[in-house]
Amino acid sequence: MVVDSFKFLPRSFRPLYEGRGPFPGEVAPVWAPFGKRLAESRIALLTSAGIYLKRSQPSFDLAREQAHPDWGDPSWRAIPASTQPADVGVAHLHINDEDLLADPEIALPSGLLKQFADEGVVGGAVSEHASVMGYQDRSLGDWRSTTAPQLVAHLQGQGADGLILAPV
């Protein structure tokens, strides 16, 4: 089966995504070899669902996006692997958040990853996964200058051997 990338996208949105080619300056292959056995590796998750801990973290800034529609909050949140669905908030104006709130595993499967660790499929999971809000200004300037280096430092600090990114 070959996935149809535009099956669920409104037809008028398709030109915004299709045939745009590489991001400027991002053409050359980048490759970090996965050196360990999976069963000895620590895995991290990164969602773009705008997930945050509603009791202890600020939401992503949706008010500013409402005022400036071409802007999206470029910050990120650390999400403990032990987070319960009841503690999860979702800040994302481009998707219906009902399913994400009902079962955050559809975007950040930390419970399932823990189960895989218990089964020995992976060596373990990081203690804190990560979350961003995926709608960003087209230049990705803040993601490049600030968020990406912070995420890298976080992942290195967590001892992550590999990262699964899941845009929503």
Partner 1 sequence: MPVLARWIESAGIPTVIVTMMPSVAEERRAPRIVGVEFPFGHPFGMIHDRAMQRPVLELALRVLAGAAAFGTRVDLDVEWPVPLRDAYRSWQPKEASPVVKKLLEARQQEGSR
- What residues between 119 and 148 interact with partner 1 by CB under 8 A? 121-122, 132, 134-135, 140, 143-144, 147-148
Which of 53, 93, 114, 142 is in the footprint of partner 1 by CB under 8 A? 93
* Shortest Å, Cβ 164 to partner 1: 5
Which of 48, 88, 117, 126 is in the footprint of partner 1 by CB under 8 A? 48
Q: Which residues pair with 80 in a beta bridge?
A: 128
* Shortest Å, Cβ 102 to partner 1: 5
Q: Which is nearer to partner 1, 58 or 167 (CB)?
A: 167
- Return all residues near 6 (Cβ < 8 A) that are at least 6 apart: 14, 17, 18
- Return all residues near 17 (Cβ < 8 A) that are at least 6 apart: 5, 6, 9
Cα–Cα distance, 46 to 160 (Å, whole number):
12
118 binds partner 1 (CB under 8 A): no
Which of 54, 78, 87, 166 is in the footprint of partner 1 by CB under 8 A? 166
Q: Which is nearer to partner 1, 89 or 109 (CB)?
A: 109
The SS3 of residue 132 is strand
Of 58, 51, 122, residue with least CA distance to 83: 51
